[in-house]
């Protein structure tokens, strides 16, 4: 127990509402593996960006007008007339990109070190639900400035629901609140865009609760054997996480101050116009891989299903992976396929930014096929047949007899 718990006031409150015990147990004493590398910073980075998003968003909402005739102008006024309005707006817009960057790395970390595997399946699934909620939030947020890309992204994405059999058309009219995307659509998107981040906060709470129940995984992917394997969260990981935040902030503020519109699309500085369709409708960079999956199949309904499946398939990963060994550090074959998979998602993203014509169509189809092949065939088969390298004895004693001999042998050569 930390010294804080000896304080009289703390004791008084704590015996009535054990909020200090909770903080002590989960924020200070929480036993954390001592060998976590920097990839484990990305969870706290995500939480940090989430807070930045909520904080900037609340202030933006004080100046934003969710109406088709005023939304674009209200944001221009905010950026020009409100003190540091430009900073609020650029921080929020670039913050969304930082959020996805950080969370994507967080997910790849989980895939590499087998953090989804038993007993962390629920922790992982909550993570996937968070990602879905983030995608919905980001999409609706992008509509709010009511520029050309906002409008046409809203149109393209909501129209996907018309692929639903039988009542698809009615469903779309219901979502729009009219017979096309318009002011009623914008107003409801604003309402939901304000609501969803708080849902994400609640999900993050569950996520961390599950984490603290199963405890953190670690780069070796082996279980904590005893107190010699762990260190208290504070000060070790609090300082490490703070350092990570400093590094992320430099990247983040680099965009905000020196290239605030670099990640955006110029068409979103053209007010929404239902009569003029932009030549290329492209989503934000973080949706590009999914956009390629959507367009890979020449059937609206199947395309939409494939796109949703490409996210939802993550839920099945704990069961698709048959290996007893979590960390890919000890699974040389799966490791190669992991990096191929990373490459595939990058290719999917690249193709998402290209027009759906010529060579890009078959390339998009091939990389989409590989995406699903990775999860449905490669992951189960390799994990069943691959012989993993021997695991170290424990976190505090990370030596393996075999590998040591190997290392000695190579050194002798």
Partner 1 sequence: MLRKILIATLGAAGLLAAAPAQPVQAAGAGHIEHVNWSFEGVFGTFDQDQLHRGWQIWTGYCAMCHSLDYFAFRNLEQIGFSEEEVKEIAAEYTITDGPDDTGEMFDREGIPADYWPSPYANDEEATYINGALPPDLSVITKGRAGGPDYVYSYLLGFDDEPPEDQTVPAGSYWNSAAHMSVKMPPQIFEEMVIYEDGTKETPEQHAKDITAFLHWVAEPHLDERKGTGIVTMLFLLVLTALLYALKKQIWSRVEH
Nearer to ligand HEM by C-beta: 45 or 272?
45
CA 75 to chain centre: 27
- Binder among 65, 123, 144, 224 for ligand HEM (CB under 6 A): 123
Interacting partner of 29 out of partner 1, ligand HEM, none (Cβ under 5 to 8 A depending on kind): none
Give the end-to-end CA distance of the chain in Å, rounded to a whole number. 52
Which listed range, 19-27, 39-47, 63-71, 190-198, lies at the site for ligand HEM (CB under 6 A)?
A: 39-47
Burial 188-199 (b: 16+ CB within 10 A, else e): ebbeebbebbee
| Residue 92 annotated as part of some ligand binding site | yes
Determine, following the binding rule CB under 6 A, whether residue 320 of this chain makes contact with ligand HEM: no
CA distance 400 to 393: 7
- Considering only residues 237-256, where is the footprint of partner 1 by CB under 8 A? 239-240, 242-243, 246-247, 249-251, 253-256
- Considering only residues 273-292, where is the footprint of partner 1 by CB under 8 A? 279
Is residue 240 flagged as an active site residue? yes
Contact (Cβ atoms closer than 8 angstroms) between residue 148 and residue 270: yes
Is residue 212 flagged as an active site residue? yes
Interacting partner of 249 out of partner 1, ligand HEM, none (Cβ under 5 to 8 A depending on kind): partner 1
Integer CA distances (angstroms), 329 to 33, 48, 223, 390, 392, in order? 17, 29, 15, 10, 11
| Residue 280 annotated as part of some ligand binding site | no
Write the CB contacts of 248 (distance below 8 Å, at least 6 apart in sequence).
Answer: 45, 48, 49, 98, 102
Which listed range, 65-73, 125-133, 174-182, 341-349, lies at the site for ligand HEM (CB under 6 A)?
A: 125-133
Interface pattern 62-81 for partner 1 (x via CB under 8 A): -----------x--xx-xx-
Integer CA distances (angstroms), 184 to 66, 142, 173, 221, 231, in order? 9, 16, 11, 50, 53
Closest to 217 (Cα-Cα) out of 106, 113, 328, 112: 113
Determine, following the binding rule CB under 8 A, whether residue 260 of this chain makes contact with partner 1: yes
Interface pattern 303-342 for partner 1 (x via CB under 8 A): ----------------------------------------
Q: Contacts with ligand HEM: how many residues (CB under 6 A)?
A: 29
3-state secondary structure of 361: helix
CA distance 220 to 207: 22
Interface pattern 90-129 for partner 1 (x via CB under 8 A): x---------------------------------------
Determine, following the binding rule CB under 6 A, whether residue 138 of this chain makes contact with ligand HEM: no
Q: Most distant CA pair in the chain: distance in Å?
A: 76
Interacting partner of 255 out of partner 1, ligand HEM, none (Cβ under 5 to 8 A depending on kind): partner 1
Is residue 411 flagged as an active site residue? no
Kindly compute the dihedral angle of the four CA atoms of residues 385, 389, 395, 399, in this order, to the nearest 10 degrees: 170
The tokens for 12 are: 């008084």
Q: 């909520």: which residue's tokens?
A: 54
Determine, following the binding rule CB under 6 A, whether residue 124 of this chain makes contact with ligand HEM: yes
Please state the length of the chain. Answer: 413
Binding site for heme b: residue ranges?
Answer: 92, 106, 193, 207
**Residues making contact with partner 1 (CB under 8 A):** 34-35, 37-38, 73, 76-77, 79-80, 86-87, 90, 231, 235-236, 239-240, 242-243, 246-247, 249-251, 253-262, 266-267, 269-270, 279
Q: Show which residues are catalytic.
A: 212, 216, 240-241, 284
């Amino acid at each position: 127990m930390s010294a804080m718990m000896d304080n009289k006031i703390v004791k008084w409150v704590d015996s009535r509402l054990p909020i200090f015990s909770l903080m002590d147990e989960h924020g200070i004493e929480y036993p954390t593996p001592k060998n976590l590398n920097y990839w484990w910073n990305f969870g706290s980075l995500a939480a940090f960006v989430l807070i930045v998003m909520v904080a900037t968003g609340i202030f933006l909402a004080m100046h934003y007008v969710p109406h088709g005739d005023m939304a674009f102008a209200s944001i221009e006024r905010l950026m020009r007339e409100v003190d540091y309005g430009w900073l609020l707006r650029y921080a929020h817009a670039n913050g969304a990109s930082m959020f996805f960057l950080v969370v994507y790395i967080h997910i790849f970390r989980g895939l590499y070190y087998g953090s989804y595997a038993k007993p962390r399946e629920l922790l992982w699934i909550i993570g996937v639900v968070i990602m879905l909620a983030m995608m919905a939030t980001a999409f609706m947020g992008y509509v709010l400035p009511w520029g050309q890309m906002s409008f046409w992204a809203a149109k393209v994405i909501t129209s996907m629901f018309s692929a639903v059999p039988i009542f698809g058309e009615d469903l779309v009219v219901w979502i729009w609140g009219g017979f096309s995307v318009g002011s009623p659509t914008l107003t409801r998107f604003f309402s939901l865009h304000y609501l969803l981040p708080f849902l994400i906060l609640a999900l993050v709470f569950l996520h961390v609760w599950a984490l603290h129940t199963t405890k953190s995984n670690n780069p070796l992917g082996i279980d904590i054997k005893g107190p010699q394997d762990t260190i208290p969260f504070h000060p070790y990981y609090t300082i490490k996480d703070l350092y990570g935040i400093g590094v992320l902030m430099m990247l983040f503020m680099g965009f905000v101050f020196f290239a605030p519109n670099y990640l955006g699309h110029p068409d979103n500085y053209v007010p929404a116009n239902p009569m003029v369709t932009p030549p290329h409708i492209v989503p934000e960079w973080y949706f590009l891989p999914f956009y390629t999956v959507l367009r890979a199949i020449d059937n609206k309904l199947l395309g939409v299903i494939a796109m949703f499946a490409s996210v939802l398939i993550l839920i099945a990963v704990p069961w698709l992976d048959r290996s007893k060994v979590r960390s890919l550090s000890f699974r040389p074959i799966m490791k190669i396929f992991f990096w191929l998979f990373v490459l595939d998602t990058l290719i999917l993203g690249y193709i998402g930014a290209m027009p759906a014509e010529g060579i890009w169509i078959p390339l998009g189809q091939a990389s989409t096929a590989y995406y699903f092949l990775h999860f449905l065939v490669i992951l189960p088969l390799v994990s069943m047949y691959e012989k993993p390298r021997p695991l170290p004895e424990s976190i505090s004693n990370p030596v393996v007899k075999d590998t040591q001999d190997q290392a000695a042998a190579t050194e002798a050569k």
